[in-house]
Amino acid sequence: MGKLNFNQAMSKEKILTVAIPTYKRPKFLDVCLASISDSVGSLPVNILVMDDSTDETNDHLREKYPSVKFIKNKKNLGIDKNICACIENAETDYVWLIGEDDLMRKNGIEIVLDALNEHPKIPFLFANYSYITADQKKIFKSISIKANTGITSFKLFFENHLWSAGFIGGCVINRPKFLNTKYKEYIGTYYAHVGGLCEASFEKEIYIISEPLVGNRVGDASTFTWSDDSFGVFQGWRDLIYKLKSIFGTNSYQKSYNSHLNAHGYLKYKFLINKKADNLLGADSVKSLISSHVSMTEKLRIRIVYFLLPKFFCNALRLSYSFIRRKSLQDFILH
């Protein structure tokens, strides 16, 4: 990868916006903005915050980060509409999405600008990421996907790694190409940004950066703003790729579907036990899941965990596992 001439780039029009969709988590947003600002430094990059709070929650951060553009939505848009609003309201050719509770590594902006400078017409760039603990101090998993840095066909990415683009911090999106798709038809799945980038990248080549540039915060239900509808989020992914089936074909659809199952363990015992521990596997959730698009094996697992495993037992299992595992985790370092 050739090095970007940053002195030359500083005199050019900005090509990249780092955009954060946020909702009432100012402490996390503050830390996230600090990590992004540190990575940007004097490089020609915009920072945009799309604030879905609709109140004064984040107003104090406007003064702390005067170079950041804050847009407060007039009404609450919801997760996927606000993510799309980040892309719609950016003023550059590329938009790097990142969650409000995630962290950017020091070299992240430089590496992405370098790649975009070398490949200025790609529809999508995937930036690898690490999974970090809820307190943002430890690494659960050092790298999301194993892939070589460089150009690859989107078909292969769709079949093997599309699930990883569900985390917005891995997505650097060509804004004009995205806006030229029917991305709004995917709103309601929680993953309209993925639907749009898939359409924009169909039968094209994309770029992958193998080095993890972002820390993706994960943990229990308290980690996620969408935790009350966690099953809806995962079912939404199934709805998303089913909608894409007509574009990518049955074979690619099935491979993508299976790769998502394998990556997240959705509706497997560990997943269901965690949800029971979080008090999210209730009667209404079970009723909805059983009547939705799930296999007979998945339905059996759901019933076993719901009816046979008490919440205190599931919580004890998770706490024990987390305690043992944390002892072996490495520190997450931004620099």
pLDDT computed for residue 230 by the predictor: 62
CA distance 121 to 205: 10
Please, is 228 exposed, middle or buried when counting C-beta atoms within 10 Å of its C-beta (0-12, 13-18, 19+)?
Answer: exposed
Ranges in the chain, pLDDT < 70 = 1-12, 219-230
Q: pLDDT value at position 100?
A: 95
Could you tell me where the DSSP H helices lie in the chain? 6-10, 26-40, 59-64, 79-89, 108-118, 154-161, 175-179, 192-201, 230-248, 250-264, 269-277, 283-290, 296-308, 311-326
Residue-level length of the chain: 335
pTM for the whole thing?
A: 0.88
| CA-closest candidate to residue 127, choices 171, 193, 168 | 171
Residue 120 burial (C-beta neighbours within 10 Å; 0-12, 13-18, 19+): exposed
Instruction: Give the single-character DSSP code of 1.
Output: -
Domains of the chain: which residue ranges?
A: 6-223, 267-335
Q: What is the CA radius of gyration of the chain?
A: 20
Task: Report the CATH number of the 6-223 domain.
Answer: 3.90.550.10
β-pairing verdict for 69-72 and 124-132: unpaired
pLDDT score of 226: 47
pLDDT of residue 303: 93
The CA-based angle 164-284-195, given to 5 degrees, is: 25
**155-183 burial code (b ≥16 CB/10 A, e <16):** bebbbbbbbbbbbbbbbbbbbebbeebeb
| Contact (Cβ atoms closer than 8 angstroms) between residue 296 and residue 263 | no
pLDDT of 221 reads: 44
3-state secondary structure of 52: coil
Reported as a single tens digit per residue, the pLDDT across 35-81 is 999 999 999 999 999 999 878 888 899 999 999 999 999 999 999 99
Alpha-carbon span 13 to 249, nearest angstrom:
39
* Torsion over CA: 32, 133, 111, 81 (sign): negative
